């Protein structure tokens, strides 16, 4: 019984809501947001995070590298010189890998680097990455982002007011994968070099870790939590 109670206590502690401050586009305080503990307050599992990043990077590899083998090279059918009597080393083909310009032995060939990784692992890794950003105070919830006019200078002004103009930013937009790229918020941020706009459906471990700060609004937080409810 004591072990069961301990497990229940740990579970309730992990699921405890996490508080995160909300800012206005002018940089003023706008209260606190209560975030789901099982998404933004879990213990960081570095092993699963590392596996997921390796999985993502492996999927992005084209695998189109190739070297010419001896069988693919033209020529080499005739013996360059006779076997004996020349004083030179024996040679059977001009495409031998021992010759300059010859074939490559055991060189890289086209292949697929992708490997399987369970959805459960990817979900836990994403929760770990998001929780780490919250613990480091690098999750910024901004009230009023949805009302931006779509101009780059407007987003640059907000970035300056909130202090992330010189940081790598992952901007999470909650308008659906297709509508997000057509939104005014996306248009206002896409030309800022240090900002990567991303729909909620595309948020991944690598981009979260590769950013200095995550910027979103209340709708983005709700949509992120919705991904973990499915």
Query: What distance lies between CA 193 and its chain's CA centroid?
Result: 17
Rounded CA gap, 186 and 172, in Å? 9
- Residues 206 and 56: beta-carbon distance below 8 Å: yes
**Cα 71 to Cα 95: distance, rounded to the nearest angstrom:** 9
Rounded Cα gap, residues 36 and 14, in angstroms: 10
Q: How far apart are CA 145 and CA 218, in angstroms?
A: 9
Of 198, 228, 205, the closest CA to residue 36 belongs to 228
pLDDT along the chain (230 residues), means of 10: 42 71 90 93 96 97 93 90 94 92 93 95 96 95 89 92 92 79 88 93 96 95 89
Query: What residue spans define the domains of the chain?
Result: 2-61+116-227, 62-112
* Best CA proximity match to 186, nearest among 213, 148, 159: 148
pLDDT of residue 174: 87
Residue-wise pLDDT tens digits, 174-227: 876 567 778 899 999 999 999 999 999 999 999 999 999 999 999 999 999 999
The CATH architecture to which 2-61+116-227 belongs is: 3-Layer(aba) Sandwich (3.40)
End-to-end CA distance of the chain: 32
- H or E segment and range at residue 128: helix 119-135
User: Among candidates 188, 203, 208, which has minimal Cα distance to 146?
Assistant: 188
Angle at 179 between CA 174 and CA 183, to 5 degrees: 80
């Amino acid at each position: 019984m004591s072990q069961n109670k301990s497990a229940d206590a740990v579970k309730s502690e992990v699921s405890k809501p996490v508080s995160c401050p909300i800012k206005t586009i002018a940089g003023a305080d706008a209260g606190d947001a209560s975030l789901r503990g099982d998404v933004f307050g879990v213990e960081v599992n570095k092993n699963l995070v590392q596996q997921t990043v390796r999985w993502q990077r492996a999927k992005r590899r084209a695998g189109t590298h190739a070297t010419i083998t001896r069988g693919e090279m033209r020529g080499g059918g005739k013996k360059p010189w006779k076997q004996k009597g020349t004083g030179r080393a024996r040679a059977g083909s001009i495409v031998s890998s021992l010759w300059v310009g010859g074939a490559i032995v055991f060189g890289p060939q086209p292949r697929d680097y992708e490997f399987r990784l369970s959805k459960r692992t990817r979900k836990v890794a994403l929760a770990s990455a998001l929780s780490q950003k919250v613990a480091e105070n690098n999750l910024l919830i901004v009230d009023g982002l949805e009302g931006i006019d779509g101009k780059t200078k407007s987003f640059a002004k907000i970035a300056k007011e909130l202090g992330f103009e010189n940081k790598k930013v992952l901007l999470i937009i909650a308008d659906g994968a297709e509508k997000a790229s057509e939104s005014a918020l996306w248009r206002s941020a896409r030309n800022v070099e240090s900002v990567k706009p991303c729909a909620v459906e595309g948020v991944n471990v690598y981009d979260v870790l590769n950013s200095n700060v995550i910027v979103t609004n209340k709708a983005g937080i709700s949509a992120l939590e919705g991904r973990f409810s499915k």
